[in-house]
Amino acid sequence: MKKIMNKAEDFVDEMIEGILAANPGELATVADDLRCVVNKNKMAGKVGIATGGGSGHLPLFLGYVGDGMLDGCSVGGVFQSPSSVQMLEVTKAIDQGAGVLYIYGNYGGDILNFDMAAEMADVEGIRVEQVVAGEDVASGPKGEESKRRGVAGIFYVYKIAGAKAAELATLDEVKRVAAKAAANVRTMGVALSPCIVPEVGKPSFTLNEDEMEIGMGIHGEPGIRRGKLKPADGIVDEMLIPILDDLPYVRGDEVSVLINGLGATPKEELYIMYRWVGQVLAEKGIKVFKVYIGEFATSMEMAGASISLIKLDDELRDLLSKPAHTPFFEQKQL
Amino acid sequence: MKKIMNKAEDFVDEMIEGILAANPGELATVADDLRCVVNKNKMAGKVGIATGGGSGHLPLFLGYVGDGMLDGCSVGGVFQSPSSVQMLEVTKAIDQGAGVLYIYGNYGGDILNFDMAAEMADVEGIRVEQVVAGEDVASGPKGEESKRRGVAGIFYVYKIAGAKAAELATLDEVKRVAAKAAANVRTMGVALSPCIVPEVGKPSFTLNEDEMEIGMGIHGEPGIRRGKLKPADGIVDEMLIPILDDLPYVRGDEVSVLINGLGATPKEELYIMYRWVGQVLAEKGIKVFKVYIGEFATSMEMAGASISLIKLDDELRDLLSKPAHTPFFEQKQL
């Protein structure tokens, strides 16, 4: 297991210590708990936005805490949900009287804990609303969208909700745009190699040297097809077509595209993928507003990538265009 | 060879096509050559800054073409120098009468070609100056600094020179701050696994499952010590101490730190490294102004990392703080 780490049991805490040390003016912990992280920079009267989830996915989740994005994050162990108590502490720290929106991925443990945290917050007099992101079309067929896992596309939900909250919109309004963004995103992934959870010490799955798995989840959840590694354009087709068919898209639609590396895949390969994505979209008459390429939701050293598309209307485009500044994501006004 | 690509011989061109397609408003090619890339956004009267080098290192080199950084880049094959003719074409395209500064890494092929391009530019009446970045302390002992390879620390040279040029400084002034930045940067790397050049198809070197190599270059050049993989803090010590001893640093100095992933190493591990870097620097009384963590100079899917420190004075700190915007690097005013 070739990881640059000290003891496996310290992996998450030392990672957080590193993130805090690298960004002393931006992030702080609350409740004396390293795993309850908030933005130091508070905008008075703003709706708070909290997320949370397992570690091992940087920049997810913690990396999007910052101006124009999220206000707080509770951090779990690698691939494990944080606790409802940690979520509650973050909620209390970021509430400024306007309420708090939870945005997180569609995973059983996270749902259970965020539900419990919302109930506890209610007892404390804090109004909480929730938007659960689930956009991986490989994990639930059409008609069973509620089964879909949340993966890299949650970036769009954070970005759009964060921009709305920064306009001092009400909790209902922030929730509305977050839900609209979540409803308009679709993602498909491909895995080429596994990752190793530090405390487990062995690969989460195996793939032969000439194989790929389409639709695999960011924790190694089974995909929809395992087969021989194809050329890049063929891989893109297998990912993009199901996304386009699902919403569905029509000529004249406008999108933003996110090509996300899962950890070990070089940026060169992500751009080779985008080359074909752009050509297919152009052929179908779908206009591309803005392209994001890089690592937005990873699985540590897993090789592979995902493609996310969000269908934009005027409101979503406007909110996506707003500036944001976090330790892992920087955008000036588009 | 698990790469998301089409034909190996199209790897570089299709990558550039993807980068251009993803950034249509920002980058353009000149001389009808895909491998001659310039910033579309020209600032009148500014000194032009050009770089160039082999592919396979994104964001190096092309990724730093943008506002507040570089004006143009000639792109070579994977780990191969671009040609002097391509460099000349970029030079001609970015010269606005104030001259052009070449900033590139200390590699034989690049030096040869940039020297030739500078001579050809002179014939065309374009004044060219050069700063060669070489800051990898593993590749040349003290007293033999001219042997040192240019690696991730060139980011600082680009950033600082780019900020000075954006102030419409003269070519001599831009060259002076670039040379000062280059003289103040030191880097050390560690490799954990090799990469594969697409057209070669097999790993550039082998390392056993429990081994690391301290000081290996970004093309797999031999390092200074191969041994058992150590815990993160021990690896950091082996990299950081030679950097600190080389300049040398004294209590009260101020630095910026860059923790660079070589491609396959997860961000989590880079932050675990920074945790210890920050503690060692604090102990030595060295003040940290700004920390950059991520992928700044890679070797495709190589696992490993490098640490770069630049010693700052008021001028360098001020220039480093300026905003920049490129397809791969975004910074607001610090």
Which of these is catalytic: A46, A159, A186, A219?
A: A219
DSSP state of B4: -
Mean pLDDT score, B79-84: 98
Residue of chain A nearest B3, judged by CA positions:
A269
pLDDT band at A204 (very low <50, low <70, confident <90, very high): confident
pLDDT at res. B204: 85
Determine, for residues B274 and A18 on separate chains, whether the beta-carbon distance falls below 8 Å.
yes
Mean pLDDT score, A123-132: 98
Distance from CA of A4 to the nearest CA of B (A): 5
What is the residue extent of each domain of chain B?
8-184, 185-328
Euclidean distance between CA atoms A276 and A282, whole angstroms: 10
| pLDDT surpasses 90 at B1 | no
Does B79 sit behind a cis peptide bond, omega within 30 degrees of 0 on the bond before it?
no
* Percent of all residues in chain A with a pLDDT value above 90, rounded to a whole number: 99
| pLDDT surpasses 90 at A186 | yes
Please, are residues A114 and A84 in contact by the beta-carbon 8 Å criterion? yes
Chain mean pLDDT for chain A: 97
pTM greater than 0.95? yes
Residue of chain B nearest A231, judged by CA positions:
B6
Read off the pLDDT of residues B131-175 as tens digits, 9 standing for 90 and up.
Answer: 999 999 999 999 999 999 999 999 999 999 999 999 999 999 999
Which of these is catalytic: B35, B164, B175, B219?
A: B219
Residue of chain A nearest B305, judged by CA positions:
A4
pLDDT at res. B233: 98
Catalytic residue list contains B325: no
Chain mean pLDDT for chain B: 97
The CA angle B95-B64-A290, to the nearest 5 degrees, is 110
H or E segment and range at residue B21? helix B11-22
Determine, for residues A268 and B58 on separate chains, whether the beta-carbon distance falls below 8 Å.
yes
Homologous superfamily assigned to B185-328: Dihydroxyacetone kinase; domain 2 (3.30.1180.20)
pLDDT at res. B234: 98
Residue of chain B nearest A295, judged by CA positions:
B267
Phi, psi of B102 (to 5 degrees): -95, 130
Euclidean distance between CA atoms B127 and B107, whole angstroms: 23
> Helices (DSSP H) in chain A: which residue ranges?
11-22, 84-94, 108-123, 154-166, 171-184, 232-246, 267-283, 314-320
Read off the pLDDT of residues B225-274 as tens digits, 9 standing for 90 and up.
Answer: 999 999 999 999 999 999 999 999 999 999 999 999 999 999 999 999 99
The CATH number given to A185-315 is: 3.30.1180.20
A190 contacts on B by Cβ (under 8 Å): 4
If DSSP codes are grouped into helix, strand and coil, which group holds residue A279?
Answer: helix
Determine, for residues A18 and B278 on separate chains, whether the beta-carbon distance falls below 8 Å.
yes
Please, are residues B226 and B212 in contact by the beta-carbon 8 Å criterion? yes
Mean pLDDT score, B70-84: 98
> Helices (DSSP H) in B71-191: which residue ranges?
84-94, 108-123, 154-166, 171-184
Nearest to A332 among B235, B270, B332 (CB): B332
* Token pair recorded at residue A27: 């992030």
Euclidean distance between CA atoms A53 and B17, whole angstroms: 36
A291 contacts on B by Cβ (under 8 Å): 21-23
ipTM above 0.90, yes or no: yes
Helix axes A154-166 and A171-184, enclosed angle (nearest 10): 150
Determine, for residues A21 and B275 on separate chains, whether the beta-carbon distance falls below 8 Å.
yes
Determine, for residues B275 and A59 on separate chains, whether the beta-carbon distance falls below 8 Å.
no
Euclidean distance between CA atoms A79 and A56, whole angstroms: 6
Distance from CA of A124 to the nearest CA of B (A): 35
Read off the pLDDT of residues A57-112 as tens digits, 9 standing for 90 and up.
Answer: 999 999 999 999 999 999 999 999 999 999 999 999 999 999 999 999 999 999 99
Determine, for residues B278 and A22 on separate chains, whether the beta-carbon distance falls below 8 Å.
yes
| pLDDT surpasses 90 at B294 | yes
Determine, for residues A23 and B233 on separate chains, whether the beta-carbon distance falls below 8 Å.
no
Please, are residues A135 and A150 in contact by the beta-carbon 8 Å criterion? yes
Closest CA to A178 of A227, A129, A211, A218: A129
If you count them, how many residues does chain A have? Answer: 334
A269 contacts on B by Cβ (under 8 Å): 3-5
Size of interface A-B (CB pairs under 8 A): 173
Mean pLDDT score, B19-27: 97
pLDDT at res. A1: 80
Distance from CA of B111 to the nearest CA of A (A): 25
Euclidean distance between CA atoms A94 and A129, whole angstroms: 14
Euclidean distance between CA atoms B121 and B127, whole angstroms: 7
Residue of chain B nearest A193, judged by CA positions:
B2
Please, are residues B232 and B304 in contact by the beta-carbon 8 Å criterion? no
Determine, for residues A268 and B56 on separate chains, whether the beta-carbon distance falls below 8 Å.
yes
Distance from CA of B17 to the nearest CA of A (A): 6
Closest CA to B14 of B265, B198, B202: B198
The CATH architecture annotation of domain A8-184 reads 3-Layer(aba) Sandwich (3.40)
Residue of chain A nearest B22, judged by CA positions:
A291
Determine, for residues A18 and B272 on separate chains, whether the beta-carbon distance falls below 8 Å.
yes
Q: Which of A41, A193, A216, A271 to mutate to test the interface with B (most CBs of B within 10 A)?
A: A271
Euclidean distance between CA atoms A138 and A245, whole angstroms: 12
Please, are residues B119 and B130 in contact by the beta-carbon 8 Å criterion? no
Please, are residues A30 and A38 in contact by the beta-carbon 8 Å criterion? yes
Is the Cα torsion angle A295, A301, A307, A310 positive or negative in sign?
Answer: negative
| pLDDT surpasses 90 at B117 | yes
Read off the pLDDT of residues B99-109 as tens digits, 9 standing for 90 and up.
Answer: 999 999 999 99
The neighbour count for residue A201, using CB atoms within 10 Å, is 10
Determine, for residues B298 and A266 on separate chains, whether the beta-carbon distance falls below 8 Å.
yes
H or E segment and range at residue B100? strand B100-105
Nearest to A271 among B22, B293, B331 (CB): B22
DSSP state of B53: E
The distance in angstroms from the start CA to the end CA of chain A is 42
Read off the pLDDT of residues B25-57 as tens digits, 9 standing for 90 and up.
Answer: 999 999 999 999 999 999 999 999 999 999 999
CA A158, distance to chain mean position in Å, is 8
A323 contacts on B by Cβ (under 8 Å): 332
Euclidean distance between CA atoms B113 and B196, whole angstroms: 25
